[in-house]
Structure 1
Amino acid sequence: MIITSLTHHALTQHAARALGILGAYWASLVRQGDLPLWSEVDPGQIQDALDHAFLAERFGHCHARIRVAGGAVEEMAGKPCKGLPLSLLIRANDRAVFNEAVSACCIAGHPVEIALTSEEDVAKSEISARLVLYPLRDSTGRVAQFLGGLAPVGNAIYRPGPFGVVEVMTDCTPSHRSRLRLVVDNT
């Protein structure tokens, strides 16, 4: 019993760290206020987070399709995710809210974090997972892809399958590198 608890705790700590790695990596790619290009994503740079990471491609106004997903993402989804709409991770009655969050991420170009629950009654449930979406642009400058992550939270026990949406948080202040300008006065 103790070993299971310690294992669950260690895995949960790794999952939280993985989401932190994804966020820091995405922020490091933001240059002078421009969102990172899809082609700039290097899986080798987020190796410790790959199990909880996924890449998704936007289609339509507010939808995305998973192109590749780590093993922990597929385990939490309860099925292989490649080619599936991202919204299939969400219960049918919460998909409208989820799709609005995806749309906001595309339009505003800011990361989105979604607190999820595996409980049937969202109002009475505890947060059991976090899903993050980081916008990526294509060569035309349009947000067309996402670097994302999905990880369990705390001691919550989740069931594989669709999640309910508890809360959507948007980051209205993406990390920007300092904008320094060299001014030379030769007078």
Structure 2
Amino acid sequence: MTHHALTRHGARALDILDAYWTGLAVQGDLPLWSDVDPGQFQDALDHAFLAERFGRSHARIRVAGGSVSDMAGTPCSGLPLSLLIRPEDRTAFNEAVRLCHTGGAVDIDLTTGANAANRDVSARMVLYPLRDTTGRVTQLLGGVAAIGDAPASAAGPFGVGKVRARPALACRFRLRLVVDNT
């Protein structure tokens, strides 16, 4: 595939993840992590990851697609999600992870200096909270994809740019018939 096609696929993969998570959360509750079915977003798997939260602002990658490992420069299952982030930007990144604890999705712009081809690399990461059966946010569904013209393989650690948090899901009330006087 050409780089342009790969970049378009990465952006599309993040859109697929967003639509999937939003669809799971249709009742107004955060989705259960056990309800995640990778077969439902298979076209985004290369750019997707599942991370387990520990503490309020950290996460460890449980499983990651090939593009995520390529961006990290190493197979990253079992490693901290912050592996993708430069040390000086990890405080800001950890704050973005903490925002998921409140139940909202987080969108993060990532940048790095020049890669091996001497071109700047930009990427976008999305984080979606998933709850366990007790209602706590214990997992994150996420994705990361390069944007722009430079290839992101082995881009090295990224800096954190703009962080956009979506508000927590609002509970949608359902009406039910309580009394029928007919």
Question: What TM-score does the superposition give when structure 1 sets the normalisation length?
Answer: 0.87
Q: Identify the residue that residue 150 of structure 2 maps to in structure 1.
A: 156
Counterpart among 9, 20, 24 of residue 4 in structure 2: 9
Q: Identify the residue that residue 137 of structure 1 maps to in structure 2.
A: 131
Following the alignment from structure 1 to structure 2, what is the Cα–Cα distance between the partners of residues 129 and 156? 10
| Mapped contact 2:31–2:130 kept (Cα < 8 A) | yes
State the SS of the aligned residue for 1:34: coil
Offset of 1:157 from its aligned partner? 3.8
Q: Identify the residue that residue 68 of structure 2 maps to in structure 1.
A: 73
Aligned length: 176
Counterpart among 166, 171, 181 of residue 166 in structure 2: 171
Larger strand proportion, structure 1 or 2?
2
Offset of 1:131 from its aligned partner? 0.5
Q: Identify the residue that residue 40 of structure 1 maps to in structure 2.
A: 35
Mean CA deviation greater in 95-104 or 27-36: 27-36
Following the alignment from structure 1 to structure 2, what is the Cα–Cα distance between the partners of residues 136 and 145? 5
Amino acid at match of 2:138: A
State the SS of the aligned residue for 1:119: strand
Counterpart among 83, 87, 103 of residue 92 in structure 1: 87
Question: What TM-score does the superposition give when structure 2 sets the normalisation length?
Answer: 0.89
Segments of 5+ residues of structure 1 without an aligned counterpart are 1-5
Amino acid at match of 1:99: N
Is the counterpart of residue 118 in structure 1 residue 112 in structure 2? yes
| Mapped contact 2:3–2:151 kept (Cα < 8 A) | no
| Mapped contact 1:21–1:46 kept (Cα < 8 A) | yes
Segments of 5+ residues of structure 2 without an aligned counterpart are none
1:127-150 per-residue CA deviation (whole Å, 9 max, x = no partner) reads 710010000001111000000000
